[in-house]
Amino acid sequence: MKVLITGAAGQLGRALVEELGRRDWEAVATDLPEMDITDRDAIWRALSDHRPGVVINAAAATRVDDLEGDPDLAMKVNALGPRHLAVACRRLGAKLVHISTDYVFDGAKTGPYLEWDATNPLSIYGLSKLLGEEGVRQQCPDHFILRTAWLYGLPGPNFITAILARARQGQELKVVHDQRGTPTSAPALAAQVLALARTEAFGTYHATCQGEATWYEFALLILERAGLTVKVRPCTTEEFPRPARRPANSVLENRLLKLEGLDLMPSWQEAYNQFWDRYGEQL
C-alpha cells in the first residue's frame, strides 16, 4: 500500500511517517512548498504522479488565535484544501483520511461528545474545519474523518514545549483549570489512523486518547515526568483571555471506533508516559 501524507513536517505528519516506516507500506511525505493543498493543480499532479491507495491529510492552518484575524487563510487551507483533495481522491479511486478537531463543537455539553452530536463551532478555526469535513463528505465517498483533540508531538511548538520552557526558566505557571479535554499523542493517533485506513469502514470518527483532564492537570504530569519543581497555579479561562473562544468541554468519546472494534487509543496518561520515554530528551 502506498500512502501519501500532506503536512508531513508537522506533529502528526512526522508520527505517521515514522509509523509507516515500521510497516510494509510505502510513505510519500509531502509538505509546503512542493505540496500546497490550496492549489488544485499541485494536488492533481502529486496524486497522479504517485498514485497512492490512501491519502492522509494532516495539513492544516492551526494558529487558532491568528486565524480570527485572517479568516480567508483559514477557509483556503482548512475548508477548500480538503475539498480539493477529496475531488482528486474520488477521481483516482484513493481513500482519503482527513484529520479534524474538537473545535467543531461549542463545548456546552456536560458529557463527552459523540460523533453524531450537533456541531456549533465558536471560532473561525472551528468553522473552517467543519466546512472541510463537509467538503470531504460531499466529494469523496471513500473517506475517513477523524476528529481529535489536544494533539501533541514533535517538533512542536505545543502545550508541552511551552510548559517546559517556562518551568526551566523558573517561572511560576498559571494554567487553565476549567477547560476539559483529552491530551492525545501524535504517535498514538498515527497508529490509529493507519489501522482504520486498512479497512473500508468509512465515515466520521472521534479519535482521542482515553479519559479526560484539564490543562492544569496535564501540566502537572508534564512537570512530574520532567522532574521540574515550580509553583503551578490553576486559573479560569477568563483570567487567560485569547482572541479565539475555546470549547470548555473538548472531551470526545471514540464511540464509533469502539463499536467497530477498532479503538486502539490508550489512556492519556499512558500515551504521555510513552511519549516522554521515547522523546523526552528532545523536548
pLDDT of 240 higher than 90: no
Report the sign of the C-alpha dihedral through residues 260, 261, 267, 272, in that order. negative
Q: Which of 103, 113, 125, 205 is catalytic?
A: 125
The pLDDT value given to residue 98: 98
pLDDT of 152 higher than 90: yes
Cell of 37: 493543498
pLDDT of 265 higher than 90: yes
272 belongs to the catalytic site: no
Domain boundaries, the chain: 2-282
pLDDT of 1 higher than 90: no
What Cα–Cα distance (Å) separates residue 264 from each residue in 102, 116, 177, 254, 260?
19, 20, 28, 10, 11
The pLDDT value given to residue 111: 96
Cell of 180: 476539559
The pLDDT value given to residue 164: 97
- At what angle are helices 40-50 and 81-92 packed, to 10 degrees? 30
CATH code for the structural domain at 2-282? 3.40.50.720
pTM: 0.96
